[in-house]
Chain A
Amino acid sequence: MSNLLDINGLNIEFPTRRGTIRAASNVCLHVNAGEVLGLVGESGAGKSTVGNAIIDLLEKPGRISAGSIKFNGEELRDKDADQMRRIRGDRIGMIFQDPQTSLNPLMTIGAQLVETIEKSTKIRGRKADRHAVKLLEQVGITEAVARLKAYPHQFSGGMRQRVVIALALAGDPDLVIADEPTTALDVSIQAQILDLIKKLCKERNLGVIIVTHDIGVIANIADRVAVMYRGEIVETGDVAQILGAPKHEYTRSLIAAVPRADTKLERFTSVDYIEGATNNFKRIDIQNHWLGETRKQDYDGLALEVKNLDLSFVLQNAVFKRNRRMLKAVNNVSFSVQQGETFGLVGESGSGKSTVARLIAGLYRPDAGVIKVFGANVNTIKKSRANLSERQALQMIFQDPFSSLNARMRVLDIVAEPIRFYKLTNSESETRRIVQDLLDHVGLGAAAELRYPHEFSGGQRQRISIARALASRPRLLVCDEPTSALDVSVQATILNLLKDLQQELGLTMLFISHDLPVIRQMCDSIAVMRHGEICEVSDANAFFNSPKHPYSKHLLDLMPRMDLIKP
């Protein structure tokens, strides 16, 4: 029996002015009808490139240099551009990552569907309309007839992704390639979309390739898994085998790096297969170290106290107050954080958790409420050197490692900025020594100080961010999704670093994330936010074992199941 798709010895190259980069080498894959193949790997592994190569949509100047792609027994590399275009619409469907940009905002959903149907099948006119309705119903959109006249902006992100799936199915394809189909979506919607893809795959006997970086997605949907690392497939196998008993060392460390939701581990283990992750974390004698100097002062109250916080954003301005449309981004939020604990703030996108972080950091001013950091009211502290200990007490680590560092400054100047501004040292040579020490401490090595941020990868940049935050000698560290832009293995090393630093320096942390397993690994207490309000505040163990609020239960139910992974 021949497979639906057979890839053999595929090599993909990108010629650049610095020589040829091999994006994929000797890739061998096959997909059967009615089966979901998960293609998993971290960024830069070449998984999307392989997906694009199948449908001849390689980005320029990429080219296939060797190998064969056989679809239903036909060699796709022999087809010309015209034939490939027909195969793309009719027989291979694509689902892209971002539902915001993969639909034309100026056309109704119906028009886009009918256009695709008429192009790729023989159905015309009224029949095409009816077919479009049928497709929308299949992907779970209710009142499909009325929805045909709607524009993409009238749909939510999850609904849009359903429409994209309907579009991919319009030509009644045999194979669907889904490139990170749920990465831009919230967990609750992710689960629905994955269920839908799985259901369609079985019903229509489709072959599906899911390209993803997320082991959780793979665990929930895939039948078979191919693991890619640096352009090569290191391991292929049944999903239970790959997750439960991985053979290749890379797969093993990748799976070890996935945060677990069921138990809290001391640290992430054996993530040593990864770039620069040599565990060179050195203990320092905090009592006699520069970093420990502020900790000698005595204060035994709450590290952070937030009371009845309110903030509204103006959605639509108007001269008269009653005509203004406001969004309550933060609504009556209160919680408190003990010294030395890690407090997790969890919620889906738009829940207001990042806004709370920025309020606490003093970047926004609240409409009402009080924020006290180590007993000092954030919004009454004057920005002067006189009360520097209050200003310094709090530092923040941001989500996006690419925009959180000034590209025009050397790492040395970035990290030294707070030290120089507050004159924390007596001489420039001392400043330099401390910066080197900090960089060494976050695992970058002292030599990094003379380079510019663009020379570093995402994880390394996040380490620079951490070093900069530490340079102020903070006592409260606000981490706003510090790892959600990073690969899972890099995430594990960064989380390990944060844990180590916290234990060593006695830091208090406010940890903001949408990712429950990460929260589980990091936090002592947890607050759940939704629509700007806090649903539940509780101890981490109690929360994961017996959530009280229905929304918390809902969130926990949606977590990707990891039963297949053996601890």
Chain B
Amino acid sequence: MSQHSPKTRWERITDNDIMWSFLSSPGAMTAAVVSSIIILACLFAPLIAPFDPFDPAQISLWDGKLPPSWAEGGQSQYVLGTDNQGRDMLSTILYGGRLSILVGLAAICLGMVMGVTLGVIAGYVGGATEAVIMRLADVQLTIPGILLAILINGVGRASLPLELREEFAIYVVIIAIGLTDWPQFARVARGATLVEANKEYVQAARIIGLPSWLIMLRHILPNTMRPILVIATIGLALAIIAEATLSFLGQGIPPTTPSLGTLIRVGNEYLFSGLWWITLFPAVALIVLVFSVNLLGDWLRDALNPKLR
């Protein structure tokens, strides 16, 4: 049995159950295509976008508040219209989306690294260490995430000198969202660690005499990654929303730097003047992106759960 030659790396990627489940799920495929189109378009915004919203030479206030090109009074070079400062909406959404996605990714990575580290340590070491870490997570979960993010964000910005605030606003937002995210990662990582730590391969590693940190890093961590990957995907969508919410409330990215949240906020001020496009298009971009990433996360959870196969 199994005398066939070892699989190559490529075969292991393409020829497995996860890939098969992906290819047989139209919802997941659509979600993957849509989200990767949006994410790629945003990441390559400087190459794709017709205008550069950061270049003052390309912005003219005379072209401000123009409707989309197909509406009455629209101009053909501004496909989705312009905002109040005369920036092209399509370019601004692409650049803004880029910022939102980068902030979301960085925040979720921060939350994941922190939560998984603490969770694996809590699960493996146990005792007082576990109690302290997990109670801390419990306490944090009693406070609504967005309020906590606003708090951390406010404190973070207040402790920076005035001249650096604009410059470091993005990092403060990333830290604020990342710090609110870690408890869920810690909980999942601890749960998975408790299961793995009782398995015999961990006992074998202990008998060999490996130190605890090496067992956690080499043996337990790789085996807890599946559920963590799932909540990271769903968490990415939530982190993007959290950034948008913070920016919408005027707490996050300054309005001079466009992100999806600041665009929606700016548009909101002009909504009653009939300038619907400034709010609608960034909002639609946000919803489609978050929805497709969420769908992808849902599918991943089902595909990685052996009980549902």
Contact = CB atoms under 8 A, between A and B. Distances in A.
B219 A383 contact: no
Interface stretch (B101-109, B134-142, B205-213): B205-213
Interface in A367-420: 383, 388, 391-392, 394-396, 398-400, 403-409, 417-418
A407 B223 contact: yes
Interface residues of B, number: 22
Contacts of B208: 391, 395, 417-418, 421, 472
Given A404-B200, A455-B2, 12 more contacts: A363-B206, A388-B209, A398-B200, A398-B203, A399-B200, A404-B199, A407-B223, A418-B209, A421-B208, A421-B209, A447-B5, A450-B6
Contact of B201 (A391, A395, A404, A455): A404
Contacts of B207: 361-363, 394-396
A456 B2 contact: yes
Interface of B: 1-2, 5-6, 20, 199-201, 203-211, 214, 218-219, 222-223
30 contacts: A17-B20, A276-B1, A362-B206, A383-B209, A383-B211, A388-B209, A391-B208, A394-B207, A395-B207, A395-B208, A396-B203, A396-B204, A399-B200, A400-B200, A404-B201, A406-B201, A406-B205, A406-B219, A406-B223, A408-B223, A417-B208, A418-B208, A418-B209, A421-B208, A447-B5, A447-B6, A450-B6, A455-B2, A460-B2, A468-B204
A266 to B, nearest CB: 28
Contacts of B1: 275-276, 457
B205 A417 contact: yes
Nearest to B225: A408
B254 to A, nearest CB: 44
Contacts of A17: 20
A403 B199 contact: yes
Contacts of B204: 396, 398, 404, 465, 468
Nearest to A358: B203
Contacts, number: 72
A554 interface: no
Contacts of B223: 406-408
A494 to B, nearest CB: 16
B201 A403 contact: yes
Contacts of A399: 200
Contact of B222 (A361, A408, A451, A457): A408
Contacts of B199: 403-404
B288 to A, nearest CB: 32
Nearest to A465: B204
* A-B CB proximity, top 3 nearest: A404-B200, A408-B222, A398-B200
Contacts of A275: 1
Interface in A433-455: 447, 450-451, 455
B202 to A, nearest CB: 8
Contacts of B219: 406, 409
Nearest to B20: A17
Contacts of A417: 205, 208, 210
Nearest to B15: A18
A403 B20 contact: no
Nearest to A17: B20
Contact of A457 (B2, B210, B218): B2
A407 B195 CA distance: 14
A25 B209 CA distance: 50
Contacts of A400: 200
Contacts of A276: 1
B308 to A, nearest CB: 14
Contacts of A396: 203-204, 207
Contacts of A394: 207
B128 to A, nearest CB: 15
B74 to A, nearest CB: 51
Contacts of A388: 209
Nearest to A381: B209
B244 to A, nearest CB: 36
A465 to B, nearest CB: 8
